[in-house]
Amino acid sequence: MLQFFPACQAGAKKMVIFRGRTLFLRKFSSLSSHPLRVCIVGSGPAGYYTAERLLKAHQKAEVDIIDRLPTPFGLVRSGVAPDHQETKVVINQFSRVGLNERCSFFGNVNVGSSVSLSELREMYNVVVLAYGAESDRDLGVPGEGLAGIHSAREFVWWYNGHPDFSQLRPNLKSAETAVVLGQGNVALDVARILLRPTAELARTDIANHALASLQESSIRKVYLVGRRGPAQAACTAKELRELLGIKDLYVNIQEGDLIKSPADEEELKNSRIQRRVHELLSKAAISQPHPVPGQRELHFLFFRRPDEFLSSDAGNDQVAGVNFEKTVLKENGESGKQSAVGTGQFEEVECGMVLKSIGYKSVPVDGLPFDQRKGIVPNFRGRVLSNASVLDKGLYVVGWLKRGPTGIIGTNLYCAIETVESIHEDLEQGVLTTSTTPKPGREGLLQLLDSKNVKFVPFSGWEKIDMKEKHEGSQKGKPREKITTWNELLEVAHA
């Protein structure tokens, strides 16, 4: 929740309280008669929050948002679970930004093939990279390439109708058991989608192909597996409560796993969220001793890490199980947290599908400094660093590309405010200038895309997609019926 405190005089800072932090927002001074031309790469929450702050702070700012997809809003559309419609209300706020006369959307524009980063930097005073994380971390475990093993991102994009994954074919019909590696919110999302009654999902904006597959699913048992214990579970209490509240679900948690060490007690003392999660897990552990026939089952496995993915005896390269090594926690002197270490004891869990929810990963583009280990662009408060000490003038980052794939949608607002403040400071200090020959900005981008025969999707094209999806959804009692293929999205947008 945001609390605003009006500035007491022109040009003064406006104080904002956001999630307990005090932030200061400033209006940009009129440093030049020329517009400040800004290009934001990525139209997710980080990109739109940045655009909103820039448009409010600088009356001469012209902001263009480009995205490789024909649709805006990033993970709000393709990452937020379909049964979390209240979270998607933020799209209304972003749409108001998109309709601002000083803001333009360019969908179906790929940095790399459609336009290069260096070309964008030539055309704009400021380029802000906000394209998030579109890849996944690897486990490096034998058998990871077996059929039936997917990243949680791929599975989430599949059921959310992302056009890159509408043709994914997860093995739901022949498998009775699925293993989800990870215990964060995304892991809980995919487990909930697998276990929730499809009659309830049918009232959401889940992709039609996913709903049809889930209606025929044979999966009745899901294992949620974590390397550490209940005191370190990375989910939030809200997500956990929703998963545990699925109708007629048997939940299995070993009470012995809930025993707290002194180090656990210390961790829980310092985190209200983790205390609440531990309390919910403790209550669930004593709720029902055994499943009844036909009941769907959710099993929490703590203190396990995958050692090998096992293939079926049929020799078809299909995953048939996971060999887990049991772990114990050891205090890490560097981080102050407890790390999981192997014990040399192993156990197997049979399954027909594995979903890896072990973290997203950003990918670099040509000409961009990139920290492969951290998966971020090296930066100082959003300013891109060419090396440890030299600023890459005019180039900024925001969101997951800036801080790593952590936080919720609202976290991107604070992140955007910080990056916009850095842009403001650089303008005031003369690091950036708009006083010389004006940059071509939007006009230059339009000419370049035309010369390359790139048929971009404007915001009005997205509105056509939006209108069609909502209309078709209303006929089925859904918020929208998503269009899930590239061809149809582009066809509707350009109609």
Instruction: Report the C-alpha gap between 308 and 74 in whole angstroms.
Output: 34
Give the confidence band of 290 by pLDDT, cuts at 50, 70, 90.
confident
Instruction: Report the C-alpha gap between 442 and 439 in whole angstroms.
Output: 9
- Compute the mean pLDDT over every residue in the chain, rounded to the nearest whole number: 89
Going by DSSP bridges, is the β-strand pair 21-25/14-18 parallel, antiparallel, or unpaired?
Answer: antiparallel
Instruction: Report the C-alpha gap between 250 and 263 in whole angstroms.
Output: 30
Let me know: does 109 contact 449? Beta carbons within 8 Å.
yes
For 439-484, what is each residue's pLDDT tens digit? Answer: 999 999 999 999 999 999 999 999 999 999 999 999 999 999 999 9
Q: Per the annotation, where are the binding residues for FAD? A: 46, 75, 111, 400, 407-409
Q: What is the mean pLDDT of residues 197-209?
A: 97
Kindly list the distances between the CA atom of residue 295 and the CA atoms of 196, 215, 255, in Å, as whole numbers in the listed order. Answer: 12, 16, 21
Instruction: Report the C-alpha gap between 475 and 338 in whole angstroms.
Output: 52
Angle at 82 between CA 495 and CA 374, to 5 degrees: 95
What number of residues does the chain have? 495
Let me know: does 230 contact 180? Beta carbons within 8 Å.
no
Cβ density class 183-192: b for 16+ within 10 Å, e for less: bbbbbbbbbb
What are the backbone dihedrals phi and psi of residue 294, each rounded to the nearest 5 degrees, phi first?
Answer: 85, -5
Would you call 456 exposed, middle or buried from its count of C-beta atoms within 10 A (0-12, 13-18, 19+)?
buried
Confidence at residue 56, expressed as pLDDT on a 0 to 100 scale: 94
Domains of the chain: 36-134+362-494 (3.40.50.720), 136-360 (3.50.50.60)
Copy the structure tokens of residue 96.
């108001």
For 302-351, what is each residue's pLDDT tens digit? Answer: 999 999 999 987 667 899 999 999 999 998 766 668 899 999 999 999 99
**Alpha helices by DSSP H, 372-485:** 400-403, 411-428, 441-451, 459-474
Copy the structure tokens of residue 240.
């956990």
For 348-383, what is each residue's pLDDT tens digit? Answer: 999 999 999 987 766 777 778 888 878 888 999 999
Return the DSSP state at 431: S
Give the confidence band of 296 by pLDDT, cuts at 50, 70, 90.
very high
Residue 294 scores a pLDDT above 90 = no
Let me know: does 186 contact 264? Beta carbons within 8 Å.
no
Confidence at residue 409, expressed as pLDDT on a 0 to 100 scale: 86
What are the backbone dihedrals phi and psi of residue 64, each rounded to the nearest 5 degrees, phi first?
Answer: -110, 130
Rounded to two decimals, the pTM is 0.89
Let me know: does 54 contact 130? Beta carbons within 8 Å.
no
Residue 281 scores a pLDDT above 50 = yes
Q: Per the annotation, where are the binding residues for NADP(+)? A: 183-186, 227-228, 239, 407
Task: Report the Cα 281 to chain-centroid distance in Å.
Answer: 25
Instruction: Report the C-alpha gap between 365 and 417 in whole angstroms.
Output: 24
Residue 275 scores a pLDDT above 70 = yes
Return the DSSP state at 389: S
Q: Per the annotation, where are the binding residues? A: 46, 75, 111, 183-186, 227-228, 239, 400, 407-409
Give the confidence band of 386 by pLDDT, cuts at 50, 70, 90.
confident
For 68-119, what is each residue's pLDDT tens digit? Answer: 999 999 999 999 999 999 999 999 999 999 999 999 999 999 998 999 999 9
